Every structure is written in C-alpha cells, then in structure tokens.
C-alpha cells in the first residue's frame, strides 16, 4: 500500500520516525510533517501566511524505509492538505496515518488534537485515515504500537470500508506488546481536565498566564477509550466530524414554530 504519514509533534519526534520506519518495511511510505511541535492546534490552517515546504535534509535526518518526505512550516492539517494536493499529487494513497502521538488523545482531546485533525483532514479529502497515540508522556517505547498497527492494517477491511465522514482514533497503552490485554472497540470517554492558569510576571514586569492542568480520569467507565487504555488494552474508536444533535433538531423546530 501507499501510505501518507503526518503528526503534530514535528518531524523530529520519535513517534513519527518509528511509525514511518516500521510501516515502511512492508509499504510505500511518504511523510509530510510540521517542522516544530504543533500540539493542540486543532484543525487550524495557514491562511494568512505562506506555507513553507522543504525536503528532508541533513538538518532533518532521513528516516529509514520511507520513499520520500518533507517538512512544512504549517499545522498538521496543512501538512496533509499540501501533501495530497501538491507535493505528492501524483501518488494515489491507500491510507493516511497520523502519529504516533507522544501522549493520549481521548474523549474531549479529539477537539483540540493536531494528531486527530491530521487524520480528519485526510478523511475529508477522501482517504481512509487513522490517528494513533501513546497513553504516556514519559515512555518513548513506540515500537510495540507501530508493530501492532502494521499488523492491524494488513486486513484492509479494518479501514477501507469506514462509513462516510469517519476515521479511526487509536490509543495504545505504554510498555511492551506482551503487556497488552487485547484490543477494544470503544466510544469517546469522559476525559476532562482540572485546569488552572498560573499567573507569572515576565522580566519587563508584564503579567502573563501559563495554562496548566491534570486529566481527571476517575470518570472513565467500561466501554470508553480512556477506560480501555488505563487497563492496558488498545482502544479503537470510530470518530466522525458530524456533531449535529439530530434528536434535538425536531424539538428545536417545534420551539421555533
């Protein structure tokens, strides 16, 4: 298969480099990623400034097993859009994979995540797409997740017949694959954050704030993505971008009569 890979952690991130190298052992892999970290950029795009694109060079070490690759000054959505429409426009991709993100993308995270947005952009452009994330900010052991995904995509039915406007969001528990307790098809969970703004003063005496916060994970219940990875299972969630509350539309129509 011909596979396009991107991420939001940048071209230098261990997750994307491991993923590209592992999938490249069996597939034709092309890569287009940001030149710096673009976490929590959501589905933003570069509309008011030029989008710079450069091939991989000595400054950006080549990744083993890939066919071709480039870096951009833009967001994950930018990377996917320009890769498909321009840089690799002569390539008919079979699949787009985003990640492997260093940190989970669960529940409400999908609204903010650049990793998820890269997969969503590919889906909007007609490609089957998978977002992948590791449930850890400290572990750098991405190989087990990459190998699991390589086995997962061997069966094209896992992704080729997704419903319209749907992509897969996969989260992996940290550690060796021997510790995985299987995989689960899940729904988006109740992950939330206890957020706070830390007030600081810069060297010139100006007030600024630094957003911080820890996830609240005790709300997760069986069947959710968060519960699965917290219990060492791979979480596979079909996600769609249509956020219409269809049940309420009829109620609202009645209220407006």
What is the distance between the terminal CA atoms of the chain, rounded to a whole angstrom? 53
Mean pLDDT over 95-105 rounds to 96
- The pLDDT tens digits for 49-89 are 898 999 887 566 678 899 999 999 999 999 999 999 999 99
Percent of the chain at pLDDT exceeding 70: 95
pLDDT for 59: 61
pTM here is 0.91
- The sign of the torsion formed by the CA atoms of 141, 143, 148, 153 equals positive
Mean pLDDT over 225-251 rounds to 94
| Those residues with Cβ within 8 angstroms of residue 8's Cβ, 6 or more apart along the chain or in another chain | 34, 37, 38, 39, 40, 41, 75, 76, 98, 101, 113, 114, 115, 117, 118
Per mean pLDDT, which range of 62-76, 137-151, 193-207, 236-250 is the poorest? 193-207
What gap in Å lies between CA 60 and CA 47, rounded to an integer? 25
Would you place residue 159 in the very low, low, confident or very high pLDDT band (cuts 50, 70, 90)? very high
CA-nearest of 112, 254, 70, 109 to 188 is 109
What gap in Å lies between CA 50 and CA 52, rounded to an integer? 6
- More confident position, 205 or 30: 30
Percent of the chain at pLDDT exceeding 90: 74
- The pLDDT tens digits for 177-228 are 999 999 999 999 987 766 678 889 989 989 888 877 677 666 789 999 999 9
Mean pLDDT taken over the chain: 91
pLDDT for 213: 67
Burial of 190 (C-beta count, 10 Å sphere; 0-12/13-18/19+): middle
What is the CATH code for 2-189+220-256? 3.40.1210.10
Angle at alpha carbon of residue 182, lines to 177 and 183, rounded to 5°: 110
Would you place residue 243 in the very low, low, confident or very high pLDDT band (cuts 50, 70, 90)? confident
Q: Which two tokens stand for residue 59?
A: 């400054």
Mean pLDDT over 228-253 rounds to 94
* Domain map (residue ranges) of the chain: 2-189+220-256
């Amino acid at each position: 298969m011909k596979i396009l890979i991107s991420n939001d952690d940048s071209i230098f991130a261990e997750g994307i480099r491991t993923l590209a190298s592992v999938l490249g052992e069996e597939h034709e892999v092309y890569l287009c990623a940001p030149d710096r970290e673009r976490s929590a950029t959501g589905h933003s795009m570069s509309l008011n400034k030029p989008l710079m694109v450069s091939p991989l060079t000595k400054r950006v070490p080549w990744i083993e097993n890939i066919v071709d690759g480039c870096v951009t000054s833009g967001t994950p959505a930018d990377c996917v859009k320009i890769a498909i429409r321009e840089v690799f426009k002569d390539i008919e991709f079979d699949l787009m994979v985003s990640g492997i993100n260093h940190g989970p993308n669960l529940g409400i995270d999908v609204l903010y995540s650049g990793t998820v947005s890269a997969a969503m952009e590919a889906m909007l452009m007609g490609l089957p797409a998978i977002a992948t994330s590791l449930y850890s900010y400290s572990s750098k052991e991405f190989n087990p997740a990459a190998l699991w995904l390589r086995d997962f995509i061997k069966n094209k039915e896992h992704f080729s017949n997704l419903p319209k406007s749907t992509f897969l969001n996969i989260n992996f528990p940290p550690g060796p694959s021997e510790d995985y307790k299987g995989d689960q098809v899940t729904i988006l969970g109740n992950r939330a954050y206890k957020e706070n703004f830390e007030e600081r003063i810069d060297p010139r005496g100006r007030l600024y704030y630094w957003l911080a916060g820890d996830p609240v994970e005790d709300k997760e219940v069986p069947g959710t993505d968060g519960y699965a990875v917290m219990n060492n299972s791979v979480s596979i969630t079909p996600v769609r971008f249509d956020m219409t509350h269809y049940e309420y539309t009829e109620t609202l129509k009645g209220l407006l009569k």
